[in-house]
Amino acid sequence: MKIEYNNLYTHFIFTTLHRLPLISEKHRDRIEKYITGIVNNNNSQLYAIYANPEHAHFLVSRSPELSEETLASIVAESSQLFINQNRLCESQFVWQASASAFSVSKSDDDKVCKYILNQPKHHRKVTFAEEYDEFIKFYQKTLSPSKKYESK
């Protein structure tokens, strides 16, 4: 069945291999613009992005034709190649083999955009490891429903 209208917001978090601080401030904007182009060229829309030295956050409204995993793979492979070909990193740039994707409701998209764009200030108070642990704890609560529904 063809999906004519969708509202599939996903907050992605990519991490550099071994959480090494490979993304320099000098090249951050260029990397963010490239990732934005990748997303937009895949029938999706990027709303906010921030590339920290060892991780990147971005909020996307994705095409229903793409799973989170497919879009993440396209972005990771393309951006990794771009960063290495353009020597935007002092050493070999590699994303971790896994990423995180969290669904976001339309009513929270503005809040998530502000969170992503506020990364420099946020990370003056909270490390990436602490931030990531908070995400996992929060989203694990949503994975175990309080009620079990059974079909009759």
How much is the pTM? 0.83
What CATH number does the domain located at 9-143 have?
A: 3.30.70.1290
Using the predicted structure, report yes or no on whether residue 150 has a pLDDT greater than 60.
no
Using the predicted structure, report yes or no on whether residue 145 has a pLDDT greater than 60.
no
Reported for 65-73, long-range contacts at CB under 8 A and 24+ positions apart, including other chains, are 66/42, 68/10, 68/12, 68/101, 69/101, 71/10, 71/12, 71/39, 71/42, 71/44, 72/12, 72/14, 72/99, 72/101
Q: What are the domain boundaries of the chain?
A: 9-143
Using the predicted structure, report yes or no on whether residue 149 has a pLDDT greater than 50.
no
- The pLDDT, as a whole number, for residue 15 is 93
